[in-house]
Structure 1
Amino acid sequence: MVLKLRKVDRRHFKSSINIKRRRARDYYYAAISVFVVKIVLFVFLLILFSVSYRLFSTKFKNITAPVRFAVPMIILLFSIVLLYYIYKNFRDIRDMHKEKDKER
């Protein structure tokens, strides 16, 4: 009885190193895209702050000052918090880039 040798299916023998590199690269590109989206949102919040400050300071004179400037200050507070998260995201991207350079 002669047994036929089957060819090894190499598709199932992927290297775990390549998978880890691909995953790290995907995380790096995802972090960059999130960073860009956060910057666009930050610019939008600054424009919204500018418009709301101008609107509330000129159009609504009959409302008391703390109530009148509450909306622009809340927008400014959110933009400051977002700026902190942009900085954290930038640090993470920089650390990922340093790790990527170490692997080479």
Structure 2
Amino acid sequence: MKSETTRKIWLLVLVVTSMVGAVVLWKVWHVPHFVWDFLAFIGALMMVITNGYENLKVSKKVQIFYKYFFIFMSIQFFFLTLYNFLTWMGYISGF
């Protein structure tokens, strides 16, 4: 197997494991939502790190997509975590 194929397989395993782990924590043990958001962000981070978007043998457009997707997920993680933490602490009411 080529190293690029192996990297993509590990990427898929890491992202799926992160998402399944987050849902199990949330549904089974009722962990607060901001933990779930954090694990979703870690999944996106692993996608970028394992793919090494700057070193992929893909077009420049795909590399830019990976870069900005990670930035978007970082911003989303920050605001969702802030909102969910404040809701969990009782400072604001949830939907």
Does 1 or 2 have the higher relative contact order (CA < 8 Å, sep 6+)?
A: 1
> What TM-score, normalized by structure 2, do the two folds share?
0.50
> What TM-score, normalized by structure 1, do the two folds share?
0.46
Q: Based on CA coordinates, which of the two structures has the bigger radius of gyration?
A: 1
